Amino acid sequence: MRIVLLGAPGSGKGTQATRLKTELGIAHISTGDLLRAAVKAGTPLGLRAKAVMDAGQLVSDEIVLAMLEERLEQPDTHAGFILDGYPRNLAQADALDRLLKRIGQPLDAVLKLNVPDADIIKRTEIRFKAEGRADDDPETVRRRLQVYAQQTAPVADYYSQRGLLTEVDGVGAIEEIFTRLMAALKSRSTAAV
Protein backbone atom coordinates (compact mmCIF):
# COMPACT_ATOMS: atom_id res chain seq x y z
CA MET A 1 0.00 0.00 0.00
CA ARG A 2 1.30 3.44 -1.00
CA ILE A 3 -0.02 6.23 1.23
CA VAL A 4 0.35 9.98 1.65
CA LEU A 5 -0.48 11.20 5.16
CA LEU A 6 -1.59 14.84 5.27
CA GLY A 7 -2.39 17.08 8.20
CA ALA A 8 -1.45 20.37 9.77
CA PRO A 9 1.74 20.66 11.84
CA GLY A 10 1.02 19.06 15.21
CA SER A 11 -1.89 16.97 13.91
CA GLY A 12 -0.16 13.70 14.81
CA LYS A 13 1.13 12.62 11.38
CA GLY A 14 4.48 11.36 12.67
CA THR A 15 2.93 9.42 15.54
CA GLN A 16 0.34 7.78 13.31
CA ALA A 17 2.80 7.13 10.46
CA THR A 18 5.02 5.20 12.89
CA ARG A 19 2.05 3.06 13.96
CA LEU A 20 0.93 2.49 10.36
CA LYS A 21 4.47 1.45 9.40
CA THR A 22 4.47 -1.21 12.11
CA GLU A 23 0.95 -2.43 11.41
CA LEU A 24 1.26 -2.54 7.61
CA GLY A 25 4.93 -3.52 7.38
CA ILE A 26 5.75 -0.72 4.96
CA ALA A 27 8.38 2.04 4.91
CA HIS A 28 7.77 5.37 6.66
CA ILE A 29 9.32 8.19 4.64
CA SER A 30 9.67 11.67 6.11
CA THR A 31 11.29 14.10 3.69
CA GLY A 32 12.74 16.04 6.63
CA ASP A 33 14.46 12.88 7.87
CA LEU A 34 15.66 12.11 4.33
CA LEU A 35 17.18 15.56 4.02
CA ARG A 36 18.94 15.40 7.40
CA ALA A 37 20.28 11.90 6.67
CA ALA A 38 21.59 12.88 3.22
CA VAL A 39 23.35 15.94 4.62
CA LYS A 40 24.87 13.91 7.47
CA ALA A 41 26.00 11.14 5.09
CA GLY A 42 27.50 13.66 2.67
CA THR A 43 25.73 12.19 -0.37
CA PRO A 44 25.88 14.22 -3.60
CA LEU A 45 22.29 15.41 -3.05
CA GLY A 46 23.02 15.97 0.64
CA LEU A 47 25.98 18.20 -0.25
CA ARG A 48 23.80 20.20 -2.65
CA ALA A 49 21.13 20.57 0.04
CA LYS A 50 23.71 21.57 2.66
CA ALA A 51 25.08 24.33 0.44
CA VAL A 52 21.56 25.72 0.00
CA MET A 53 20.78 25.49 3.74
CA ASP A 54 24.13 27.02 4.69
CA ALA A 55 23.19 29.98 2.47
CA GLY A 56 20.02 30.34 4.55
CA GLN A 57 17.69 29.27 1.75
CA LEU A 58 15.05 26.57 1.44
CA VAL A 59 16.02 23.35 -0.30
CA SER A 60 14.41 23.26 -3.73
CA ASP A 61 11.58 20.92 -4.65
CA GLU A 62 13.91 19.46 -7.30
CA ILE A 63 16.46 18.32 -4.69
CA VAL A 64 13.81 16.96 -2.32
CA LEU A 65 12.13 15.05 -5.15
CA ALA A 66 15.47 13.59 -6.25
CA MET A 67 16.12 12.42 -2.67
CA LEU A 68 12.65 10.93 -2.55
CA GLU A 69 13.25 9.11 -5.83
CA GLU A 70 16.49 7.63 -4.46
CA ARG A 71 14.62 6.52 -1.33
CA LEU A 72 11.82 4.91 -3.36
CA GLU A 73 14.45 2.81 -5.17
CA GLN A 74 15.30 1.06 -1.87
CA PRO A 75 13.94 -2.50 -1.53
CA ASP A 76 11.94 -1.79 1.65
CA THR A 77 9.60 0.51 -0.31
CA HIS A 78 8.56 -2.14 -2.83
CA ALA A 79 5.83 -3.46 -0.48
CA GLY A 80 4.59 0.09 0.01
CA PHE A 81 5.33 3.30 1.86
CA ILE A 82 3.86 6.13 3.88
CA LEU A 83 4.89 9.66 2.90
CA ASP A 84 4.66 11.82 6.00
CA GLY A 85 4.46 15.56 5.42
CA TYR A 86 5.01 15.48 1.68
CA PRO A 87 3.79 16.87 -0.66
CA ARG A 88 3.46 20.31 0.97
CA ASN A 89 2.13 22.25 -2.03
CA LEU A 90 0.43 21.71 -5.39
CA ALA A 91 3.67 21.78 -7.39
CA GLN A 92 5.10 19.02 -5.18
CA ALA A 93 1.89 16.99 -5.50
CA ASP A 94 2.04 17.18 -9.29
CA ALA A 95 5.75 16.31 -9.37
CA LEU A 96 5.17 13.39 -6.98
CA ASP A 97 2.37 12.02 -9.16
CA ARG A 98 4.62 12.16 -12.23
CA LEU A 99 7.47 10.44 -10.36
CA LEU A 100 5.25 7.66 -9.00
CA LYS A 101 3.70 7.07 -12.43
CA ARG A 102 7.16 6.88 -14.01
CA ILE A 103 8.41 4.31 -11.48
CA GLY A 104 5.14 2.34 -11.53
CA GLN A 105 4.17 2.99 -7.90
CA PRO A 106 0.99 5.11 -7.97
CA LEU A 107 -0.65 6.11 -4.71
CA ASP A 108 -3.36 3.91 -3.22
CA ALA A 109 -4.63 6.38 -0.63
CA VAL A 110 -4.23 9.86 0.78
CA LEU A 111 -5.31 10.18 4.40
CA LYS A 112 -5.84 13.62 5.92
CA LEU A 113 -5.91 14.03 9.69
CA ASN A 114 -8.42 16.74 10.56
CA VAL A 115 -7.63 18.52 13.83
CA PRO A 116 -8.96 21.98 14.72
CA ASP A 117 -6.27 24.65 15.09
CA ALA A 118 -7.21 25.24 18.75
CA ASP A 119 -6.53 21.56 19.54
CA ILE A 120 -3.21 21.67 17.69
CA ILE A 121 -2.13 24.74 19.63
CA LYS A 122 -3.05 23.01 22.93
CA ARG A 123 -1.17 19.82 21.94
CA THR A 124 1.95 21.65 20.89
CA GLU A 125 1.94 23.92 23.96
CA ILE A 126 2.02 20.78 26.14
CA ARG A 127 4.86 19.33 24.07
CA PHE A 128 6.69 22.69 24.12
CA LYS A 129 6.57 22.77 27.92
CA ALA A 130 7.65 19.12 28.20
CA GLU A 131 10.29 18.94 25.45
CA GLY A 132 11.17 22.56 24.64
CA ARG A 133 10.97 22.02 20.87
CA ALA A 134 11.41 25.42 19.20
CA ASP A 135 8.89 24.57 16.46
CA ASP A 136 6.26 24.00 19.19
CA ASP A 137 6.44 27.57 20.48
CA PRO A 138 2.81 28.84 20.32
CA GLU A 139 3.64 31.78 18.01
CA THR A 140 5.66 29.55 15.71
CA VAL A 141 2.79 27.05 15.61
CA ARG A 142 0.30 29.79 14.68
CA ARG A 143 2.56 30.92 11.81
CA ARG A 144 3.03 27.32 10.63
CA LEU A 145 -0.74 26.81 10.66
CA GLN A 146 -1.20 29.89 8.47
CA VAL A 147 1.38 28.60 5.97
CA TYR A 148 -0.31 25.19 6.03
CA ALA A 149 -3.73 26.75 5.29
CA GLN A 150 -2.33 28.71 2.35
CA GLN A 151 0.02 26.18 0.77
CA THR A 152 -0.68 22.65 1.97
CA ALA A 153 -4.43 22.54 2.55
CA PRO A 154 -5.11 22.84 -1.24
CA VAL A 155 -3.18 19.57 -1.72
CA ALA A 156 -6.15 17.77 -0.11
CA ASP A 157 -8.44 19.15 -2.84
CA TYR A 158 -5.94 18.01 -5.47
CA TYR A 159 -6.14 14.43 -4.21
CA SER A 160 -9.88 14.60 -3.59
CA GLN A 161 -10.39 15.41 -7.28
CA ARG A 162 -8.41 12.25 -8.10
CA GLY A 163 -10.56 10.12 -5.82
CA LEU A 164 -7.69 9.32 -3.45
CA LEU A 165 -8.53 11.42 -0.37
CA THR A 166 -10.12 10.16 2.82
CA GLU A 167 -10.48 12.59 5.70
CA VAL A 168 -10.06 11.17 9.19
CA ASP A 169 -10.98 12.75 12.53
CA GLY A 170 -7.62 13.35 14.21
CA VAL A 171 -9.03 14.28 17.64
CA GLY A 172 -8.97 11.79 20.48
CA ALA A 173 -6.67 9.19 21.95
CA ILE A 174 -3.79 7.99 19.75
CA GLU A 175 -5.29 4.49 19.56
CA GLU A 176 -8.74 5.84 18.56
CA ILE A 177 -7.22 7.87 15.74
CA PHE A 178 -5.16 4.88 14.60
CA THR A 179 -8.31 2.72 14.53
CA ARG A 180 -10.02 5.35 12.34
CA LEU A 181 -7.04 5.43 9.96
CA MET A 182 -7.02 1.63 9.64
CA ALA A 183 -10.78 1.63 9.00
CA ALA A 184 -10.31 4.26 6.29
CA LEU A 185 -7.60 2.16 4.62
CA LYS A 186 -9.73 -1.00 4.85
CA SER A 187 -12.66 0.87 3.33
CA ARG A 188 -10.47 2.09 0.45
CA SER A 189 -8.99 -1.35 -0.25
CA THR A 190 -12.41 -3.08 -0.29
CA ALA A 191 -13.80 -0.33 -2.52
CA ALA A 192 -10.90 -0.86 -4.94
CA VAL A 193 -11.61 -4.59 -5.27
Round to the nearest angstrom and report the end-to-end CA distance of the chain: 14
Q: At what angle do helices 117-131 and 138-147 cross, to 10 degrees?
A: 140
Count Cβ atoms within 10 A of the Cβ of residue 111 and give its class: 0-12 exposed, 13-18 middle, 19 or more buried: buried
- Which of the residues are catalytic? 13, 88, 127, 133, 144
3-class SS string, 90-106? HHHHHHHHHHHHHCCCC
Contact indicator for 68, 99 with CB cutoff of 8 Å: yes
